[in-house]
Amino acid sequence: MTTTPTTQADRVALVTGASGGIGRAVAERLAADGDAVVLLYSGGRQRADETLAAITERGGRAIALRADVADETEMAAAFDRAEQEFGGVDVVVNTAGVMVLAPVAELDLADLDRMHRVNIRGTFVVSQLAARRLRSGGALINFSTSVTRLQQPGYAAYAASKGAVEAMTLILARELRGRDITVNTVAPGPTATPLFLEGKPQDLVDRIADLNPMQRLGTPADIADSVAFLSGPTGRWTNGQTLYVNGGAA
């Protein structure tokens, strides 16, 4: 039977979507906290390599692997590699996701299928492996969105996929009773990542930023701080929750 690692330096974190803005911030934050980090990416190898370099140049331990979160064989191989390189897995952070926006009447069903494959099946595959292979004292953190509470036109299909993420994550927390593993969901609001800002005029960005009482967009570092809390020793009593990280927008 595996035991809880005794120090932060013993912990191993696996981060999907590590080539994205939030994924990179999460990976770098966990590495700065002392975790060895397995960076998983799908299509952004250059950005993943940049994240890897940023971590190792600061003395952190990390490897980068390509894996499709919805492919159970590829993901099992990623967990195998994490165990071979670092001895086990203690934290899984699943930031990988796809967002396609359109009104229900206009959405291409191929886009719906793609979001379901990555956001729902991908989350299920990663969660299933985490449930089987996380060490005692571990943490699984999946990603939803604050849009599930905002009812914004154009977001129906994306919000539906993330509602499914919240449901499966919170149920899994109860299923892991007795394992000393926390399972939570982080639901960011608008966050200033390159993907979010791309193609948006500044006046639109300013209007979105003004929606919350803090009157700014979130930053990837804001989201990474929440992940660090949920995955670390001070977050052990937070379990089976969806944490809305949005400055009070909803």
158 tagged catalytic = yes
Which of 41, 155, 158, 244 is the catalytic position? 158
Contact 180, 90 (CB under 8 A): no
Specify the amino acid at residue 204.
Answer: L
Interatomic CA distance for residues 129 and 143, integer angstroms:
16
Report the side by side order of strands in the sheet with 139-143. 62-66, 36-41, 12-16, 91-94, 139-143, 182-188, 242-245
Interatomic CA distance for residues 112 and 159, integer angstroms:
11
Interatomic CA distance for residues 139 and 234, integer angstroms:
12
Contact 89, 81 (CB under 8 A): no
Mark residue 187 as left, alpha or beta (left: phi above 0; alpha: psi -120 to 50; beta: remaining). Answer: beta
Residue numbers annotated as active site: 158
